């Protein structure tokens, strides 16, 4: 395999995030439409983070007076939003790191400051899959690459 296929994977994940974002906006408009049509609904859809939640994890919630259709759409919206923010984002980060590793870019040049550690197991899996070289040699280079800034491949 080659880095071209990994580059295509990166672009596909970016497109997936854009598509999901568009679908989220459609769902928000549908929820607003149902809210406006319901004369008993006096509240708006609000963004909230439950106590103890991650700082970048928001949930859309509604209060009383909402139709079952709006509640079902809201569940879909929360599911799509979480998939985009959690799964797609982490997969894209891992594939980007694997792509940069295979191209020989130092890790400290890719991520100067970060709030969380990448999923090193996912990065390693992609490096093995897309490298096309002897697995032992690649994994040795990968271990050296992850330990450049004191990072350990087993964390994350």
Q: Is the pLDDT of residue 133 over 80?
A: yes
Residue ranges covered by each domain of the chain: 3-146
* Mean predicted confidence (pLDDT) in 12-36: 89
Contact 13, 92 (CB under 8 A): yes
- Residue 109 scores a pLDDT above 60: yes
pLDDT at 59: 55
Mean pLDDT of 85-92: 94
Which pTM value belongs to this model? 0.76
Average pLDDT for the chain: 81
Q: Which of 100, 146, 145, 107 is nearest to 6 (CA)?
A: 100
Instruction: Report the pLDDT averaged over residues 144-154.
Output: 65
Task: Give 26's pLDDT tier (boundaries 50, 70, 90).
Answer: very high
Residues 42, 45, 48: CA angle, nearest 5 degrees:
130
> What integer pLDDT is reported at residue 75 of this predicted model?
87
Residues 82 and 100: beta-carbon distance below 8 Å? no
Three-class secondary structure assignment of the chain: CCHHHHHHHHHHHHHHHHHHHHHHHHHHHHHHHHHHHCCCCCCCCEEECCCCCCCCCCEEECCCCCCHHHHHHHHHHHHHHHHHHHHHHHHHHHHHHHHHHHHCCCHHHHCCCCCCCCCHHHHHHHHHHHHCCCHHHHHHHHHHHHCCCCCCCCCC
Assess whether pLDDT exceeds 70 at residue 150. Answer: no
* 121, 94 contact by CB (below 8 A): no
Q: What is the model's pLDDT at position 152?
A: 45
In the numeric block, the tokens 């609000």 are attached to 46
Read off the pLDDT band of 103 (50, 70, 90).
Answer: very high
Q: pLDDT tens digits for 49-82?
A: 555 555 445 555 555 556 778 788 888 998 999 9
């Amino acid at each position: 395999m080659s880095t071209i296929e990994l580059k295509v994977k990166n672009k596909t994940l970016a497109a997936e995030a854009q598509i999901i974002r568009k679908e989220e906006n459609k769902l928000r408009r549908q929820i607003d439409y149902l809210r406006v049509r319901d004369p008993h609904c006096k509240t708006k859809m609000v963004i909230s983070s439950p106590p103890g939640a991650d700082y970048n994890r928001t949930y859309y919630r509604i209060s009383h007076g909402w139709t079952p259709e709006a509640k079902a759409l809201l569940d879909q919206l929360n599911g799509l939003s979480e998939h985009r923010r959690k799964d797609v984002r982490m997969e894209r980060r891992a594939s980007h790191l694997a792509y940069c590793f295979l191209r020989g870019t130092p890790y400290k040049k890719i991520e100067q400051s970060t709030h969380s550690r990448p999923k090193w197991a996912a990065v390693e899996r992609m490096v093995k899959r897309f490298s096309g070289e002897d697995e032992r040699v690649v994994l040795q280079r990968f271990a050296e690459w992850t330990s450049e800034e004191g990072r350990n491949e087993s964390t994350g």
